[in-house]
Amino acid sequence: MALIVAEAGFAYNAGRGFENLALSGIDMVVEPGGLTLVLGPTGSGKSTLLRLASGLVDATEGSVTVDGEAMSTSARKRLRGRVGLVFQNPESQFFAPTVLEDVAFGPRNFGRPRPEDDGREAMRQVGLDPDEFGGRTPFELSGGEARRAAVAGVLAMSPDYLLLDEPTAGLDARGRAAVRAAIAAARERAGVVIVTHDAGDFLASADRVLVLFCGTSAFSGTPEEMLSAGASLPAGVRLPDVPRAMLMAADRTGTAVAPSLDPLVAARALAAMAGGRR
């Protein structure tokens, strides 16, 4: 069981005079319980990849399959709900008078027998107590609460794969922590893909990292491999600050170092390079 993107690509206006290649030669495999982090600067094709994987657009090269079945714009209706996509700033899609009604919208449309139960379950998954939040109006929620309610709206459809575009953008520390926890909970049943230009929040918990640059894959591997590859990543892609500091120091002193996300590990390494404690 997996969501597989194989050598896939997408070109706008394919075949016409002004073809614009947004994505090319991308490989990605996501299994339930897994977390794939897709990094890259703005315009690198990350959002296009999400659209491909969710069947919003058809791949112009390669293929996308969900549990063995081909995903496409026509198949999307048949594969309904298997792949859930949470857009950037998903709070803009709120429309219902209560949070529960908005969250239950998806399961209701898909003909589930008890959409409100699915809604309540999804709310619990993201850490929003249905009794406390269910009856409130979605427009009054705080940043982190609203974000989680929108995620719940997608989780309520019980997708096997959950794709998220910048899930922590614009949130403060507490909101980000709450969303991270919600995604960790979702990961228990689904395969998760997170697209972001800020590696900090999720790099530690990801099992695969895909770095996009100008529509192609600049790196694909584990987070540890990515940290080690730091120097060879393209200019527009940056490691988080802590491992980057380690690599800069290693550069300065001509020593080798295994970059880490842990500030304490990094401090010890830097201290050693600088000649021990002062």
Partner 1 sequence: MSPARIAIGQYVPVESPVHRLNAMAKMGLLTAFTAALFLVHGFVGLAAAGVVLVGAVALSRVPAAAAARGIAAVSTIVAFTLLANGLRWRPVTALLRIGPLALDAEGLRTGAFFALRILLLVVATTLLTLTTSPVEITEALERLLRPLRPLGVPASELAMTLTIALRFVPTTAEETERIVTAQSMRGARLDSGGPVARVKAWVPVLIAVFFNLFRRADDLAVAMESRCYHGGEGRTSMRVSRMRPADWAALLSGAAMLIAMGVLL
Partner 2 sequence: MADGTTTAGSGIAFEGVSFAYAMDGSRRSALRDVTLTLSPGELLVVVGANGSGKSTLARLCNGLLIATVGSVRVDGLDPADPDRTWDVRSRVAMVFQDPDNQIVGTVVEDDVAFGPENLGVEPKEIRRRVDAALAAVGLVGFDRREPHMLSEGQKQRLAVASALAMEPAYLVMDEPCAMLDPEGRADVLALADVLAHERMHGVLLVTHDLADVAAADRVAVLAGGELTFLGTPDVLLGDEAAVTSAGLEMPPVGLLAASLRGMGFDVPARALTPESIVGALWP
Neighbours of 241 (CB within 10 A): 13
Task: Choose, by CB under 8 A, the member of 80, 143, 189, 228 that binds partner 2.
Answer: 143
Residues 23-42, mask of contacts with partner 2 (x by CB under 8 A): ------------------xx
| Contact between residue 99 and residue 132 where contact means Cβ atoms under 8 Å apart | no
> Measured in whole angstroms, how far is the alpha carbon of residue 100 from the centre of its chain?
24
Whole-number minimum distance, CB 157 to partner 1, in Å? 7
CA atoms within 13 A on the CB side of 203: 22
Task: Choose, by CB under 8 A, the member of 67, 70, 75, 87 that binds partner 1.
Answer: 87
Whole-number minimum distance, CB 67 to partner 1, in Å? 18
- With respect to partner 1, which residue has the nearer C-beta, 12 or 225? 12
Which range in 8-16, 64-72, 193-201, 217-225 contacts partner 2 by CB under 8 A?
Answer: 193-201
- With respect to partner 2, which residue has the nearer C-beta, 103 or 242? 242
- With respect to partner 1, which residue has the nearer C-beta, 108 or 189? 108
Dihedral angle of Cα 77, 106, 153, 115, to the nearest 10 degrees: -140
DSSP H helical ranges for the chain? 46-53, 75-78, 99-103, 105-109, 115-125, 130-133, 143-155, 173-186, 223-228, 241-253, 263-273
Kindly tell me the number of DSSP H helices and DSSP E strands found in the chain: 11, 10
Q: Is 17 in the site for partner 1 (CB under 8 A)?
A: yes
- With respect to partner 1, which residue has the nearer C-beta, 108 or 238? 108
Binding to partner 2 (CB under 8 A) within 225-244 occurs at 238, 240-242, 244
Contacts of 49 (CB under 8 A, 6+ apart): 5, 23, 26, 28, 38, 195, 212
Q: Is 258 in the site for partner 2 (CB under 8 A)?
A: no
Handedness of CA 180, 183, 187, 192 (dihedral sign): negative
Helix axes 241-253, 263-273, angle to 10 degrees: 10
Residues of this chain that bind partner 1 (CB under 8 A) = 17-18, 54, 56, 80-81, 84-85, 87, 90, 92-96, 105-106, 108-110, 139, 153-154, 157
Residues of this chain that bind partner 2 (CB under 8 A) = 41-42, 142-144, 169-175, 197-198, 200, 238, 240-242, 244-245, 248-249, 252-253, 261, 263-264, 266-268, 270-271, 273-274, 277-278
